[in-house]
Amino acid sequence: MTRVLRTPIFAANWKLNHGPTDARAFMQRFLQQVPRVDDRSLLIFPSALSLAAVVDAIKDRPDVIVGVQQVHTESLGAFTGENSVVIARDAGARAVLVGHSERRHLFGETDEATGRKMRLALDARLIPMLCVGETLAEREAGATEHVVLRQLEAGLSALSVAEVSQVVLAYEPVWAIGTGRTATPADASAIHGVLRGALRSRAGDRAGHIPICYGGSVNRGNVAELLAAPDVDGVLVGGASLDADGWSAIVRTEVAH
Ligand code: PGA
């Protein structure tokens, strides 16, 4: 399993878009425009039905990692319609999103479920990307830190210190997802710093190597300044990752180290 991803991380979350035909066309165009990279990590989270198309497209591109957007809290069994960490791994996935806000808010994913999924993901040798973030109401109530720390603790609750250092985090304020409203680099940095502090108390010095990505209306215009902010180690991008040319431009962003 890829233990520590090279930063910066550029992760595309296609959500419920791009079937296999579109995914193949996207990958062909994207891979043409983005030659093999070794100074950043590229991840793509397609729909599970398009996973095979992306896996096939990247067979000669070990620098691109493909993942699934969601898995069930059980690995195998009588759970009609669900995705499994074991099946995802067998199908070529190497990463998984856990606790994306759409899963939490539209599909009722609980903190407890995220903890279980993180455990299963590591057992299946998938890189888990744990998403945390507050709603607008929580932010306005001054509860941002409380919410993200609660989500972080729940997500990591079943992991050992060594395992905690294998995860990737994504801070995605819910009010910034798909809304065109981006957190400022300073806003993002402040919460990333809070998350880093909590990781430090769990994992000590290893916490410095855990990537913390920012997500929420990231686009070509704001990606460079977000990546330049302290403690922002990558981006998780929805809408602006759907167009192959636009996404290619984003992943080629010059990053000040
Ligand atoms: P967005 O989505 O970039 O469209 O805001 C980000 C995400 O939900 O991961």
Burial of 135 (0-12, 13-18, 19+ CB in 10 A): middle
**What is the DSSP code (8-state) at residue 37?**
-
**What's the maximum distance between 2 C-alpha atoms anywhere in the chain?**
49
Domains of the chain: 9-251 (3.20.20.70)
The answer to whether the CB of 69 is under 6 A from ligand 1 is no
Residue 254 designated active-site: no
257 is catalytic: no
Mutate to test the pocket of ligand 1, among 18, 130, 237 (most ligand atoms within 8 A of CB): 237
Residue of 105, 177, 222 with the most ligand 1 atoms within 8 Å of its CB, for mutation? 177
Spans of the chain below 50 pLDDT? 1-3
Give the Cα separation of 173 and 117 in Å (integer): 21
DSSP-based three-state secondary structure for 101: helix
* CA–CA distance, 139 with 87 (Å, rounded to integer): 37
CA of 23 to the centre of ligand 1 (A): 18
Question: Measured in angstroms, how far is the CA atom of residue 77 from the centroid of ligand 1?
Answer: 31
Q: Are 136 and 175 in contact (CB under 8 A)?
A: yes
pLDDT attached to residue 2: 44
Q: Tell me the pLDDT tens digit for each residue of 100-144.
A: 999 999 999 999 999 999 999 999 999 999 999 999 999 999 999
**Residue 18 near residue 46 (C-beta atoms within 8 A):** yes
- In the chain the first and final C-alpha atoms are separated, in Å, by 26
Query: Which of ligand 1's atoms lies nearest the C-alpha of 101?
Result: 8
How much distance in Å is there from the Cα of 216 to the middle of ligand 1?
Answer: 5
